[in-house]
Structure 1
Amino acid sequence: MAKKNRNRQRAETTPTEPGEVGPRQPCPCGSGKRYKACHGAAGGGDVYVARPFEGLASEGDVVALRELVPAATAPLTLRDDVDAHGRTVTLCTLAPGAVPAVVRDSGEVLLGLQVQHSFGDPSRDLAAVLLAALEAEPGAVGLTDAPGPGPRLQDLVVDAPLDITVHEGYGYWVEESDQSPEVAELLEQADDQAAPTARLASVASAYWTRMGSKEHLRWVMPEPEGELLDALARLHAAGTDTLIPEGRLVGMFRAHGLLTPVWDLPVGTGAEALEDPAADFKTALDAALAEKAPLTSEERSARSGLANRQVTIR
């Protein structure tokens, strides 16, 4: 009987196809529930999109701003058929109070990426919030229920690479007219939680950060997961997956369908010292991605090790 139960449990836990989620595994929407109790349940979730920001020119940066970067902003240009009045819309990592959006007295919309809700398709959720904010009076705009069928962010914006500004803190929350002592105290408390972060200029979607006494580079990569793992395995087996001496590739996050390799760095490295090494690594990575020969036994071993050091955060 025990063996039969183990076999049944194994069947429930192990996905049957690559990318499939087992019933007892965490739901990839990030809710913290098992899949069978969330998007795998009848009525438990109306939609789940594994790669919600696919097709955006800055897909990797949007994922980074949603999951990794404390404080950053980027202007969004809306399509004329969405807003013919030229409203200012600013995409931000975090809006005040983690609300989905804020409409300022000036009419500007702050559209937050880091929010409390999770309805399965963050791109659709952002679009629903944005459309509501364009019709709302000044103040916070929320999203308490799944928005249902409708446009996605890709349908509302003029797609172009984002002009991202990484901030030291959350000063972008406050308009110049609101500089009260109470607001200053609130900002100081929030700023204390923001880890120093910088975006590299030489490559796309790569962010240096210092967390406590440690420094890291976290680089969101849009390549298909299997191909990217093969390429990273080739570089690792060749000893060329380090960016700088004493830095090392330690693992990777998986978020919104993309892998984010993470390098530990020596203390004191900083972002500027990574610009040229990152560009050189991107050249080597592209060459490894183009390689079609089967992996060697050493490369297969390296790939297995890398796959075992993945953490899914969304």
Structure 2
Amino acid sequence: MKKTICAVLCLSVIGSLFAGTDAKAASTNDALFGRIAEKVVYVHRAAEEKERVTQKLYYNDEMLILANFKNKAGENWLRVRSDDHTGWIQEDQIRPYGAEGLHLNAVKDTGARRGADSSEKQTGTVQKGKGADVYMSFINKKGERWVKANNIVLYRETIGSSAFDGWIKLEDLTIMTSSEEKLGLSSRTAAKTTVIYKDSGLKTKTGYVLPYKAPLNIKGVYKSGNDASGVFKVSFNIKSRTYEGWIPRDYADTYAYQGLYGKTFRTIILDTAVHRSATHDSRVVAHYKPGTNLVVTDTFYDPFDEDGFGKWRNVLLPNGQKGWVNDTAFFGV
């Protein structure tokens, strides 16, 4: 056990030392993750409507976005994956998000590398079926999609396997879903993959990870004098057993968030950019003037945002265009 913990800590330090030589997380015009935007979407074997349907998806189903492609008809298609299903859907059938914070699983034994390219030195191994927590994403010059991830907090998975921290090709990963996780916006769910803590001070980890959009029940709330947002005590199920713990309040997509959906809000001056996905690095698809009325349709929270502006709203503009704006666009939302 001591050797395992030592290995985890050592790899964490090594990963920090290599940070200067890693591929930079530059701006990316394409998201690596999204949720289905329509009531029903058919997945095709190839990037054309006439191709055989291989899977049916439903609103809010989660998918990794492995590649994009424009066919001969000029249609933009995406190659997507969830669980062990891979296929093609049209680009406008999915709502793109950032990949940071996701918990993914390896579809085969694969390497964690020093940089976002197969030629980079392998620093660890991700075994088939094992989990990886993503904290950075990148599309390299070849157009390959990579995520930087580790299993440092996954103590149960680290024991009996090797710890890793490095760049993993998105093609070798999948996002696991279940019928319980495919929920509408009327349910309380996790707004971001998060570690569960034993105490309201968020100092001692339980060893459990609550996946993004996993169902949860809020049992209580605690606010300290210096923390205006507070923390939630939550209960959640893992393999039919119920557990309890504490998470930051913003990590729960509560009714307070969902009460915003479908309502119109007037913007203020702080931000005028509408992004393709819920990250500052994604492509800007539109601009709006201060005072523009935007309809909020969804929320995404990014706890890894270093500037403290990690809360995003999916909005509908007056001209019918959709996109993501940072929460700083509004006042009191």
Do both proteins adopt the same fold according to a TM-score greater than 0.5, normalized to the shorter chain? no
Bigger strand share: 2
Bigger helix share: 1
What is the TM-score normalised by the length of structure 2?
0.29
Larger Rg belongs to: 1
